[in-house]
Amino acid sequence: MRVRAVLLDLDGTLVDSHAAVRRSWQRWADAVGIPLESFFHRTHGRPGHEVMAEVLPERPLAENLADNRALLADEIEDTDGVRALPGAARLLASLAEMPWAIVTACTEPLARARLAAAGLATPEVLVTSEQTDAGKPDPAGYLLAARRLGVEPAWCAVVEDASAGVRAAIAAGMHVIGVGGPVEPAPTWELAGLDDLEVLPDGVLLRLVGSRVHRDGAPIST
């Protein structure tokens, strides 16, 4: 797979922050009196205030924005258990000679806190929630990362684990590598994890190892 840039999601792709995220949302759910399990599945890869608006549609936007700021501040302080996912450090090291970026629904302080807690490098191009008007599945974040790297979207590969992120990358016209389990819609390629993704020495070729490849929706064993 020949590309000119690699764009990566953060939570669930490079770092495991599930426990910390769940703790923060549990505190919010308790405060507003809604069972966490009724909506937690909606939170992955999306701005918190958008999820809050879906859960409490009659609530003023200002209250959701304020609660989201408090939730994010809580998550910056609570990095207990945040760790790099298998293959993440090796993959980022192999990207040193080619353009790459992280595109995340986190704020910049939260993204940096999680990368530091996981012991992972911070890229020069880090696209966070403050920099776009809409979060995933809107393609704005991935398109902004491509512009900053000076690479056309069609030459970018996106590595994602969440449905919202896959939809964003597809809408941006990029190749999508799904990791960690099946999502809908199906990514271009699907891998068990980052250990199945290699960057070859020429810096522009990705090799998918032991992957299931999706073309036109049909799984092909490789």
Alpha-carbon distance of 217 to 11, in angstroms, equals 26
pLDDT tens column, 81-99: 999 999 999 999 999 889 9
CB atoms within 10 A of CB 128: 19
pLDDT tens column, 15-50: 999 899 899 999 999 999 999 999 988 887 677 888
Tell me the whole-structure pTM to 2 decimals: 0.83
Alpha-carbon distance of 74 to 26, in angstroms, equals 12
Statement: residue 133 has pLDDT above 90:
no
DSSP secondary structure of 48-65: HHHHHHHHSTTS-HHHHH
Annotated catalytic residue: which of 11, 16, 67, 196? 11
Annotated catalytic residue: which of 9, 16, 161, 196? 9
Which residues face 140 on adjacent strands? none
pLDDT bin (cut points 50, 70, 90) of residue 134 is confident
The alpha carbon of 186 is separated from its chain's Cα centroid by a whole number of angstroms, namely 16
The contacts of residue 157 (CB under 8 Å, 6+ apart) are 1, 3, 5, 6, 7, 174, 175, 176, 177, 206
Is 9 in the active site?
Answer: yes
Residue 133 and residue 114 in contact, taking contact as beta carbons nearer than 8 Å: no
Q: What is the mean pLDDT of residues 202-210?
A: 74
Is 30 in the active site?
Answer: no
- Taken in order 116, 122, 185, 26, is the CA torsion positive or negative? positive
pLDDT tens column, 146-173: 999 999 999 999 999 989 999 999 999 9
Residues listed for the chain: 222
Q: Which stretch of DSSP H or E encloses residue 214?
A: strand 212-215
